C-alpha cells in the first residue's frame, strides 16, 4: 500500500490524494502536521528518498524565512527542526515499499504509481 505524507492545507498534497482516489489507488494518509514525524522516521523517509534532509526543506515558507534562513544547521539539527516544525517539510511525499518520492509535479506521481 502507498503511504502519503500529507499536509491538509497544501493544495499539491490534496491534489495527489484526489488523483490517487480517482484512480482507485489504495493509500494511507499520514498527516505530518497532526502527527509529526520523529527524527528516526524522518531518517527512514530520507533513506527511501535517497536524499539528504536539505532536499525536503521548504525554503519559501514564511517560518523558514523568518527563523532559519541564512543559518548554518547540521543535518542532525535540521532533522530535529523538521520534526518540531512539520510545515517546513516538502509535501506530499509518496512512499511505495522501500522507495519514496516528492509528490510534485503530479505527472511524476502518475509515473511512480504505475511502476
Q: Which residues are catalytic?
A: 10
Query: Nearest-CA neighbor of 96 among 111, 81, 77?
Result: 111
Amino acid at each position: 500500500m502507498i503511504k502519503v505524507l500529507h499536509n491538509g492545507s497544501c493544495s499539491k498534497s490534496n491534489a495527489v490524494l484526489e488523483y490517487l482516489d480517482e484512480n482507485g489507488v489504495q493509500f494511507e494518509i499520514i498527516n505530518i502536521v497532526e502527527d509529526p514525524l520523529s527524527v528516526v522516521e524522518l531518517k527512514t523517509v530520507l533513506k527511501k528518498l535517497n536524499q539528504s534532509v536539505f532536499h525536503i526543506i521548504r525554503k519559501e515558507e514564511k517560518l523558514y524565512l523568518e527563523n532559519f534562513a541564512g543559518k548554518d544547521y547540521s543535518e542532525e539539527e535540521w532533522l530535529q527542526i523538521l520534526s518540531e516544525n512539520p510545515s517546513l517539510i516538502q509535501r506530499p511525499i509518496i512512499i511505495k515499499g522501500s522507495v519514496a518520492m516528492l509528490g510534485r509535479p503530479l505527472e511524476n506521481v502518475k509515473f511512480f504509481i504505475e511502476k
